[in-house]
């Protein structure tokens, strides 16, 4: 479970750091030129990107079990959404 929290936070921050002139803005501008079906899982959407990363990490590092794979990906997307809510809330109070 800790692995899911760590991976989803890294994925969320990768997408969040592409906004407002931060470190990954050039990458975000580059993928913005691609069609949505390709740019979203590459980092335009934090949920899509997290789902892709979680899927491939599970496929590469763990023995295949469709139920565990589904949980791993869904839990990653859910926690990425939590990180987004926390990020937005902290941004509002500053």
Q: Residue 21 burial (CB < 10 Å; 0-12/13-18/19+)?
A: exposed
- Position 49 scores a pLDDT of 96
| Domain ranges across the chain | 2-93
What per-residue confidence (pLDDT) applies to 37? Answer: 93
Question: What's residue 6's pLDDT?
Answer: 96
What pLDDT sits at residue 92?
86
Q: For residue range 23-53, list pLDDT tens digits in order.
A: 888 998 899 899 999 999 999 999 999 999 9
The pTM of the whole model exceeds 0.85: yes
CA contacts within 13 A on the Cβ side of 7: 22
Name the residue with higher pLDDT: 92 or 9: 9
């Amino acid at each position: 479970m800790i692995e899911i929290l760590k991976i989803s936070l890294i994925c969320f921050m990768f997408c969040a750091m592409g906004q407002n002139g931060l470190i990954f803005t050039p990458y975000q501008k580059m993928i913005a030129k691609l069609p949505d079906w390709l740019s979203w899982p590459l980092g335009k959407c934090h949920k899509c990107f997290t789902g892709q990363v979680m899927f491939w990490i599970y496929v590469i590092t763990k023995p295949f079990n469709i139920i565990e794979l589904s949980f791993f990906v869904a839990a990653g997307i859910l926690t990425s959404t939590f990180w987004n809510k926390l990020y937005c809330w902290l941004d509002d109070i500053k």
